[in-house]
Structure 1
Amino acid sequence: MENFISIVEIPTGSFARAVAFYQSVFNIGIREIDMQGTQMGLFPGGGPVNVALIKGDDYKPSAIGTLVYFNGGDDLQNVLHKVEPAGGRVLLPKTLIDAENGFYALFTDTEGNRMGLHSYK
């Protein structure tokens, strides 16, 4: 098994608002598709782990469920400073884990999902 995780689905209340938030914060394009009546927004990259925004009756955003950490690139602060202008909220600023494991931060997106960022610098 190459990777233990295959797909991450991020629930949305307002699909359009969530797409705009993640495109702005990560400076990416999100491809919107309809999957048998469920709206999905596919993050770029694909590969062994796929990330998608999702809007459907059985999907509810949450600040208390599974926590996903996005790769913050060389320095997660470059991403974190975009969160609040895009409508999210920083919960925990850039914080040192230790010299070997780098830094992390926590934020909520526009839908109320709690998310993390990680970088080594």
Structure 2
Amino acid sequence: MKQLLIITAIILGMGMSNCKKEDKVSSETSNQKFVSIVEIPTTDFSRAIGFYQTVLGITIEKMDMEGVQMGVFPESGDAAYVVLVKGNDYVPTKNGAVIYLNAGNDLQPTLDKIEKNGGKIIVNKTEISPEMGFFALFLDTEGNKLGLHSRN
């Protein structure tokens, strides 16, 4: 519960700092990205860090916030922050909301690394539509169901 309060305070602080004296509905809000932080629960923090670093080819920054282990993915412009978390209130699940990770121009090379690194492919690369591109679904090493998305 303490972790939830900390994250909520961070999000509220970020939101308050972005507030203006007058709230205006404009074309700017229609282009706003509404997701700002995504937390992916872990049971084995080191294993999860290794999985995502290898599969995505990134370096994850490790930190500890009041007993909660956090692994922060590299910042990517105005995209949401993605954080691996291990704490008492975090339980991996394959049920619930599905987070789709951007796999660049073609998700297949990333998908090919999933099972080699302890994950499981649930849905192979599948076309959504010519305009929206492709997706795939997988289980990570912690049992979370996630997706990959690419234009090609």
Question: What's the TM-score bracket when you normalise by the shorter of the two chains?
Answer: over 0.9
Letter in 1 for 2:96: G
Give CA deviations for 1:73-107 in whole Å, capped at 9, x if unaligned: 01000100000001000000000111111100000
1:16 aligned to which of 46, 59, 76: 46
Higher strand share: 1
Runs of 5+ consecutive residues of structure 1 not aligned to the other structure? none
The TM-score with structure 1 as length reference comes to 0.96
Letter in 2 for 1:75: D
Structure 1 distance, partners of 2:67, 2:134, is 39
Shift of 1:9: 0.3
The TM-score with structure 2 as length reference comes to 0.77
Letter in 1 for 2:121: V
SS of the counterpart of 1:73? coil
List structure 1 runs of 4+ shifted beyond 3 angstroms.
none
Structure 2 match to 1:58 = 89
Give CA deviations for 1:3-42 in whole Å, capped at 9, x if unaligned: 2111000000100000000001000000000011100000
Structure 2 distance, partners of 1:102, 1:91, is 18
- Across the aligned residues of Structure 1 and Structure 2, the Cα RMSD in angstroms comes to 1.0
Structure 2 match to 1:31 = 61
- 1:114 aligned onto 2:145: yes
Shift of 1:47: 4.5
SS of the counterpart of 1:83? helix
Higher helix share: 2
Letter in 2 for 1:54: V
Structure 2 match to 1:45 = 75
The alignment-based identity, stated in percent, is: 52
Structure 2 distance, partners of 1:98, 1:106, is 16
SS of the counterpart of 2:85? strand
Higher relative contact order (CA 8 A, sep 6+): 1
